[in-house]
Amino acid sequence: MIDKVLLGSNTAKNGFSSEREIAEKFNNWQQDTEAKQWLVLMQYNLNKIEFVKATIVTGHKTDVNVQIQIKLKQALDIENLQVKLVSNKKGFNQIDKRWIKNYIEMWNIPDEIVSILEHYVGELPPKINKPRDVRRMFLDEFSIEEQNLLVTFFDKNKVMIVNDILKGRGKFSADWILVAQKTEKNARWVLKAMNEAVNHYFGNGTVSITEKGSLKIGRITIQRKGGDGGRATANMLQFKIDPTDLFDI
């Protein structure tokens, strides 16, 4: 078995450049120290593993699908990893972005909430005089009644929303999250069960409108995507977290 002292170290000598590199490490697990550590963290006995096959997944919350064959076991074990590659010491990272219409389908959002969100991201123009941004409205520019409607909707549905944006649904929902951080002075990784990550970012579950006019659920920020050189995709809704939080829990 792997040395427990070695397992406690999460320093990555050279860092990781891509999800494909992480998949290759799993495929070379018998010679790869970090892949062995990941498998042990997933509660596998290395002596009982017959083979490991990892492939890249796109279009889902899972980035790397890992199939593990245990000796004398007929069925394959499946572990789905979401990978976050980080180059800053701290900072927000996008975990989900879509058009409002796609979230309507997922969460059955009522029309009055849809209207608020569309004004918020800029799919609809501001409906007030002298908005802070001529392209869209900030949430604190809506009436108190509208703000309360929005907060109430997200509060009522927060468990489903947080699970959808972090873990996802279906065959390729993520079981694990691997954060690989590489800065000029350091490279390190942390692997956490997705349920632990969901609990962390959910926090106390408070839904609130921030001083900057955005929305928060626990430690998750919900805002207009912005940027994109003025293209229409700037008007998508995005959810953001700080992946480096997971190094401290």
How much is the pTM?
A: 0.90
- At residue 230, the pLDDT reads 72
**Rounded CA separation 245/190 (Å):** 10
Structural domains for the chain? 4-86 (3.40.1350.40), 93-169+195-248 (no CATH)
Given this model, what pLDDT does residue 66 score?
98
Given a contact cutoff of 8 angstroms between Cβ atoms, the answer to whether 95 and 86 are in contact is no
Model confidence over 164-217: pLDDT tens digits?
999 999 999 999 999 998 887 788 999 999 999 999 999 999 999 999 999 999
Q: What angle do CA 105, 109, 114 make, to 5 degrees?
A: 105
Strands (E), the chain: 49-56, 64-70, 77-86, 93-98, 176-182, 187-193, 207-209, 215-217, 220-224, 237-241
Tokens matching residue 238: 């995005």
| 220: alpha, beta or left? (left if phi > 0; alpha if psi -120 to 50) | beta
* Residues 194, 174 contacting (CB under 8 angstroms): yes
Would the pLDDT of 1 be above 60?
Answer: no
**What integer best gives the mean pLDDT of the chain?**
92
Range from 80-84, 154-158, 231-235, 242-246 carrying the lowest mean pLDDT: 231-235
How far is the C-alpha of 108 from the C-alpha of 211, rounded, in Å?
28
